[in-house]
């Protein structure tokens, strides 16, 4: 029997979510948790407002410009010792990849059919240009992840704060 997959946002528990929109993570960085994948990326201020406007993946050219701007922000945060900003910039790069892939795989980027009990829609109906944009983000995301200063700061952060 195949298990029916549903979007995680249907059972989202806001109360137990580690990232809170009312926290200024530059003023209170100790409240930040690394988490998994892209968690917190659309919540953590002021970084969301600093990085988010640069996040675009419409086509490969826009993805190149966007990923480079975000990567420069990543390096600037690292140099300033702002691990939270660097980690969130890295998450935006990852999200550039995953969201562009979603649009490459599914028409309009919609994976689930809300009108049909959230059943998964047909894969392979998406935009070819988004696949190229995803590849652009993937390379820059992996470049950020392999940065030794980032790796060291991340390890130290996780040991200290989780």
Q: Give the pLDDT score at 94.
A: 97
What is the pTM assigned to this prediction? 0.86
CB within 8 A of 155, min separation 6: which ones?
A: none
CA atoms within 13 A on the CB side of 81: 0
Other Cβ atoms less than 10 A from the Cβ of 108: the count is: 11
Q: Give the pLDDT score at 24.
A: 97
Q: Give the pLDDT score at 8.
A: 62
Helix (H) or strand (E) holding 113: strand 112-113
The per-residue pLDDT string of the chain (162 residues; one tens digit each, 9 = 90 and over) reads 556 666 665 666 677 778 899 999 999 999 999 988 898 999 999 999 999 999 999 999 999 999 999 999 999 999 999 999 999 999 999 999 999 998 888 877 777 767 777 777 677 766 789 999 999 999 999 999 999 999 999 999 999 997
Q: For residues 108 and 123, what is the distance between their CA atoms, to the nearest angstrom?
A: 11
**Residue 103, φ and ψ in degrees, nearest 5:** -70, -30
Q: For residues 104 and 111, what is the distance between their CA atoms, to the nearest angstrom?
A: 11
Q: For residues 44 and 17, what is the distance between their CA atoms, to the nearest angstrom?
A: 12
């Amino acid at each position: 029997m195949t298990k029916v997959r549903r979007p995680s946002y249907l059972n989202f528990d806001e109360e137990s979510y580690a990232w809170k929109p009312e926290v200024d993570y530059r003023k209170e960085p100790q409240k930040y948790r690394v988490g998994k994948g892209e968690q917190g990326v659309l919540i953590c201020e002021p970084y969301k407002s600093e990085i988010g406007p640069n996040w675009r993946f419409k086509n490969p050219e826009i993805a190149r410009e966007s990923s480079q701007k975000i990567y420069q922000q990543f390096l600037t945060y690292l140099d300033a010792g702002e691990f939270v900003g660097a980690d969130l910039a890295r998450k935006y790069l990852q999200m550039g990849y995953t969201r562009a892939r979603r649009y490459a795989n599914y028409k309009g980027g919609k994976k689930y059919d809300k009108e049909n009990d959230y059943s998964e829609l047909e894969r392979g109906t998406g935009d070819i240009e988004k696949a190229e944009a995803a590849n652009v983000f993937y390379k820059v995301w992996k470049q950020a992840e392999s940065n030794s200063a980032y790796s060291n700061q991340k390890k130290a952060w996780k040991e200290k704060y989780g």
